[in-house]
Amino acid sequence: MRDYVYGRDIVTTPDCPNGLTMFINRYPSKTAFMTYQVTSGLRRLPFVGSLYSMILVYMFFNKGRRSYEHTVWDIAKALDTTMGEVVKALVFFYDRGIICEVEYSGGPFAYLLTNSGCLLAGSIINFEDDHDCYGKVGIAISENGELSPILLNRKPLVLIEGAL
């Protein structure tokens, strides 16, 4: 399964706020989450946040289309280099945000971007091998030491195997 989804298509989906998908799609490599965290904090300020967001939207929508698959791969590599090489990366939209599940050579790990802009990490359990989890509660993620069920509202968008 290999889906190619581009930023322009993803940004228009109703699953997550445009800002959330924008930062995931448009920011390359290691700046992806650093910039995401900074801008999500700035956006809470009424004037500064909206102005800064508008500038970012203008800048990155005018830089051309970048492959969503390659962007996710960059993010996966930038998140944790201590886990080894990236073997597989999988992206879900779910009811509270986005999950980026990454399988490193040192083992699997999951990164959770919530709609509130938090970046949490934990292991995914009850993960279905066929990846057909649409509308099911089949995944839980460690959140502050607790497990919480996650309802997926889409099928996985991107599955990457092997080095790009």
Digit-by-digit pLDDT tens for the chain (164 residues) are 222 233 323 322 333 333 333 334 333 333 333 333 344 444 444 444 444 444 444 444 444 334 444 444 555 555 545 566 766 666 555 444 555 666 667 666 655 544 444 344 444 433 444 444 433 333 344 444 344 444 444 344 333 333 32
CA 156/CA 32 separation, integer angstroms: 21
| pLDDT value, residue 16 | 35
On whether the pTM is more than 0.75, the answer is no
CA 35/CA 99 separation, integer angstroms: 18
Strands in the chain per DSSP E:
86-94, 97-104, 107-114, 119-122, 124-125, 137-143, 146-151, 158-161
* Domain ranges, ordered by start, for the chain: 7-68, 80-161
The residue type found at 132 is: D
| pLDDT value, residue 105 | 72
| pLDDT value, residue 88 | 65
With beta carbons less than 8 A apart as the criterion, state whether 97 and 40 touch.
no
| pLDDT value, residue 78 | 52
